[in-house]
A and B are shown apart, each in its own frame.
Chain A
Amino acid sequence: MADHLLSWMTFAPVIGAAVIAGLPGRYKDLTKWIAAAATAVPLLLAVQLFLQFDRATAGMQFTEHYTWIKSFNIEYFLGVDGLSVPMVLLTALLSFLCIIASWRIEKAVKGYFSLFLLLEAGMMGVFCALDFFLFYVFWEVMLLPMYFLIGIWGGPRKEYAAIKFFLYTLAGSVLMLLAMIAFYYNVKDPVTGGHTFNMLHMMDQANHGGILDLANVRFAIWMGLFIGFAIKVPVFPFHTWLPDAHVEAPTAVSVILAGVLLKMGTYGLLRISYPMLPDQAVGFMVPMAILGAINILYGAFCAMAQTDMKKLVAYSSVSHMGYVLLGMSAMNEVGINGAVLQMFNHGTITAMMFLCVGVIYDRAHHRDINGFGGLGLQLPVYTSVFSFALFAAVGLPGLSGFVSEAMVFIGAFPTHRTITIVSALGIVVGAAYVLWMLQRVFLGEKNAKYDSLPEISARELFTLVPIGIIVLVLGVYPMPVLDLMKVSLNHLIKVVAG
């Protein structure tokens, strides 16, 4: 396993899915245990990855390199660096916890868990792939399970949400496909002299030739890639699929959607767009910062207007991903480290929030913020956990959200002074919608309807506590994650911004 660590992490869930698919449908409990085991394997391997990862080098580690399709120079090429490792850890952790959080799924159990495992495989693959073709395949492979997970196990408007998600994402990824082909034909493999899908070769500007020497072509490719990734992030105005998908998706799927899938957009920008088209990245700094500010403020204001808890959390994701964009646009070490740290932190914090919303939805069967009141008296443990998550989302010092947001602002301030100042208002609005929701749901008069609401269960706590610990630890001491990524990211920013 040690030789093919990344392959095992990617394909262990596929094996699990295959086993589940072959299992007769009546073994529901066994199915769940197999799914848990199949996600526990990548989690354990992720721990090994965390321990063995060499923090002193910017290069790719744990690489696996094989020929896949010889005649078209397509390779099976996996590897991780400081940018991908935090994402891999996040994926492994959240996938495992989501299986636990899905334990009470009763409808079509076999289908649910096998699709979920395929989803994890796709996500892992995206974060590990270093061959553009392979990256694209993994990127698209995720769409299928996501579509069915929303469409079959989702809420009342699931069909609409599922196809909207699918169409938006596909529209973005076909543009990426064309960009990929353009790279393929115009990047030379320095060893063989042929065309290549190798992302590391694509990142080296010395290998670029043909139409990639033309500035307007580079701009067109940059825009194609940017739209593809922006839809995933989602960047305003491509964000409208997100609230729909989140509201209709089952809890665990929302967690994955917000916790991991959104990060793929910004990951793609940093893994592909930035290093491959550094000149365009620098030229796009200001628009990127403006889009980040719009995301922050627009997301926050939209969140304030929501009465559905899930929709509120969904819009808060739009807002928090804006910080990532702002940090990326800063083009300096602090900003980019803050951005990637924010990606990780948002993944954990938003996962907690969605899990908490899921807990109350399982009990009360609705998520209307105005329909509760005084839950703090009825469910003290649940209230403390949810409040913890909400305070982390606000960016309370001592919790992880604060560290990354502060880094983003510190990084962005020297580069984009006005935009950063305007964006900082987002923190205030963020506090407003979170506290307002906290007040309406947990404080005030006790709602007699919910007198017999049961307290959060041990299983549910089991899904929340590990994330909570991470949020707390990284709030006090963020170095475990920063150490992982800073060498690679500093190298990246040096390549891009000089």
Chain B
Amino acid sequence: MPVSVDMLQIPDWSDLGGFLPETVMFGAFLLALLGDLVVRRRPVVPFAVVMAGALTALAPSFAGLDAPERTILGGLVVVDGMAAFFRILFSLIAVATLLVSWASEEIMGRTRENKGEYYALIALMTGGMMVMAEARDLLMLYLSLELVSLSSYVMAGYMRNSLRATEASLKYVIFGAVSSGVMLYGLSLLYGLTGSLTYVGVRDALAAGAGDPLSLLTVCVLLLAGLGYKIAMVPFHFWAPDVYEGAPTPVSAFFSVGPKAAGFALMIRFFYTTMQPAVDRVDWRLLIAVLSVATMTFGNLVAVRQVNVKRLLAYSSIAHAGYLLMGFLMLTAEGLQAILFYLLIYALMNLGAFLFVVALNNSLKSEHLDDYAGLGFRSPWAAAMMVVFLFSLTGLPPTAGFIGKFYLFAAVMHEGWYWLAIVGVLNSVVSLFYYMKIARTMYFTKAPADAPAVPIAPLHYVTLVLLAAPTLFLGLYWGGLKDLADRAVQHFTAL
């Protein structure tokens, strides 16, 4: 087996300059753990450390948006505009998750233990997700994925006295272990076919004709098992509703946006770089198109029947993975821009919707739809913001969700996948029904006379506004964000 030259690259210290945001996040993780050890029972220390880390990581990320591609750390990691975009996205998601968690009873309730570790894990996962978006080597692909997965198992089981959370965590572990095992097998096959671990090496080998259609199809399917599980794609989605329902709501919020976006980043870089030359032998675009239709249709249809809001949002997040996959298989700059654009907006609106659930859970101690009756009048401002998130998730103007979907559909139409676009828009209509189910309960159903008051923590109010305002504003003027997404892919060489 020939040893490729870039495997022999020795990492040098200057590489760390390009790896700054991750270094900061991993540093924040260690500091938070250490801080938690030194100052016991003061979760504010790890909270502040991680918050500072996430905010610090933003500056170098913005600076890297226009940077050309640069390989570092011995060729394991690539830094470019797209990596910078995802770093920004993950930092913002981390900030929002921190704010959501800090005022949540589920996380900060008096009986909870290990609050410090919880915040440390957010830092670790954020760093891991950033690496996922930068991996350009099969080894790094697997390592970063596992880093994120392992920390998620712990986070899902954070409420260790709760039966539901423990069950969720266990399910997650088992499902995750199987998926990554399957994927590892796929990776080993791919290595066997091409003799290289780097994306570039794999690509060149595939372009030179390595691999027959059947084995390449096997590789694709096996890899999609591992990656599909991360983005909750049908048929690897089974864990999602249970985990989202069982895990503490702030954690579900985090899972539904962070690892999903990271999974997409990983998929984009892997498939666009390595599998593009193999498109003539294995039509993985069609495979993903079918999976995309299955994912959105299944997610939407099952969501219609849900009465638990967390579970409903879980199925909705499955459906959204389906929409995103449409853009993914276009293999065009337009599709890629649409995905990045949508991921950021999706993070805003989905975190917002989950935050509403978190904020109410503090006083309602329930996520059942029936307990939301009359919230439109019991808590008018928060409910109004929830309506903004729901409309945005449906994809109705004048919210950002519409613009995001518009770009996705435009990319799909431009490539001539008309049937896919039609399935996509009809799915949006189905989704309207269940999103409006929440709005209907909040506004059209009268609250029972003994309905408890629903005070909302001030920090939650602030965070709701911080998420709702851009959701609305980006629906009216999104030029700046679109430019950001366009800049992020301008140097993406795999297109």
Contact = CB atoms under 8 A, between A and B. Distances in A.
Interface string B64-84: 000000000000000000000
Interface in B356-381: 376-377
A416 B478 CA distance: 49
B444 interface: yes
Nearest to A168: B429
A170 B397 contact: no
Contacts of A158: 444
Given A140-B397, A158-B444, A185 B429 contact: no
A469 interface: no
Contacts of A147: 436, 439
A175 B422 CA distance: 8
A181 B410 contact: yes
B398 A174 contact: no
Contact of B425 (A137, A167, A174): A174
A152 B443 CA distance: 7
B402 A140 contact: yes
Interface string B394-427: 0011100010001001100110001001100110
A167 B483 CA distance: 33
Contact of B444 (A71, A136, A140, A162): A162
B486 A71 contact: yes
B129 to A, nearest CB: 28
Given A72-B482, A162-B444, A174-B426, A167 B377 contact: no
A167 B413 CA distance: 23
Which interface residue of B376, B398, B413 has the most chain A CB atoms within 10 A? B413
Given A71-B483, A158-B444, A166-B432, A178 B398 contact: no
A347 interface: no
A163 interface: yes
Contacts of A148: 443
B428 interface: yes
Contacts of B482: 69, 71-72
A152 B387 CA distance: 14
A143 interface: yes
A372 to B, nearest CB: 30
Interface in A134-176: 136-137, 140-141, 143-144, 147-148, 151-152, 158-159, 162-163, 166-167, 170-171, 174-175
Nearest to A184: B410
Nearest to A175: B425
B396 A163 contact: no
Nearest to B418: A178
A422 interface: no
A167 B397 contact: no
Contacts of B429: 167, 170-171, 174
A171 B478 contact: no
A141 B397 CA distance: 6
A456 interface: no
A184 B486 CA distance: 19
Contact of A167 (B421, B433, B479): B433
B296 to A, nearest CB: 13
Nearest to B432: A170
Contacts of A163: 433, 436, 440
B216 to A, nearest CB: 32
B436 A177 contact: no
A68 B475 CA distance: 12
B391 interface: yes
B436 A152 contact: no
Interface string A169-213: 011001101100110110000000000000000000000000000
A178 B411 CA distance: 11
Given A136-B397, A141-B398, A178-B422, A69 B478 contact: yes
Contact of A178 (B397, B409, B440, B444): B409
Interface residues of A, number: 32
B433 A185 contact: no
Contacts of B422: 178
A136 B428 CA distance: 16
Nearest to B445: A159
B436 A178 contact: no
B396 A144 contact: yes
Contacts of A152: 376, 443-444
Contacts of A26: none
A296 B483 CA distance: 51
A156 B413 CA distance: 42
Given A151-B440, A167-B429, A170-B429, A178 B396 contact: no
Which interface residue of A70, A137, A158 has the most chain B CB atoms within 10 A? A137
Interface string A368-388: 000000000000000000000
B391 A144 contact: yes
Contacts of A170: 396, 428-429, 432
Contact of B436 (A68, A72, A166, A175): A166
A148 B443 CA distance: 8
A143 B443 CA distance: 16
Contacts of A171: 426, 429
B66 to A, nearest CB: 16
B413 A178 contact: yes
A465 interface: no
A166 B429 CA distance: 9
Given A71-B486, A140-B402, A185 B414 contact: yes
Nearest to A136: B397
Contacts of A185: 410, 413-414
Contacts of B402: 137, 140
A497 interface: no
Nearest to B409: A181
Given A69-B479, A174-B429, A151 B486 contact: no
Contacts of A70: 479
B358 to A, nearest CB: 25
A151 B444 contact: yes
B128 to A, nearest CB: 33
Contacts of A141: 397-398
A171 B402 CA distance: 15
A56 interface: no
Contacts of B409: 177-178, 181
A137 B396 CA distance: 8
A108 interface: yes
B413 A181 contact: yes
Contacts of B483: 71
Nearest to B478: A69
Nearest to B407: A72
A136 B409 CA distance: 15
A285 to B, nearest CB: 27
A33 B436 CA distance: 31
Contacts of A140: 396-397, 402
Contacts of B377: 108
A95 B334 CA distance: 42
A171 B406 CA distance: 15
Which interface residue of B398, B414, B418, B432 has the most chain A CB atoms within 10 A? B432
Nearest to A154: B444
A136 B396 CA distance: 10
Given A71-B483, A167-B432, 20 more contacts: A69-B477, A71-B486, A72-B482, A143-B396, A147-B436, A151-B440, A159-B440, A162-B444, A163-B440, A166-B436, A167-B429, A174-B428, A177-B425, A178-B425, A181-B409, A181-B413, A181-B421, A185-B410, A185-B413, A185-B414
11 contacts: A136-B397, A151-B440, A159-B444, A163-B433, A166-B432, A170-B432, A171-B426, A171-B429, A181-B413, A182-B413, A185-B410
Interface of A: 68-72, 108, 136-137, 140-141, 143-144, 147-148, 151-152, 158-159, 162-163, 166-167, 170-171, 174-175, 177-178, 181-182, 184-185
Interface of B: 376-377, 391, 396-398, 402, 406, 409-410, 413-414, 418, 421-422, 425-426, 428-429, 432-433, 436, 439-440, 443-444, 477-479, 482-483, 486
Q: Which 8 A-B pairs have the closest CB atoms?
A: A174-B425, A137-B397, A181-B413, A140-B397, A151-B444, A171-B429, A159-B444, A181-B410
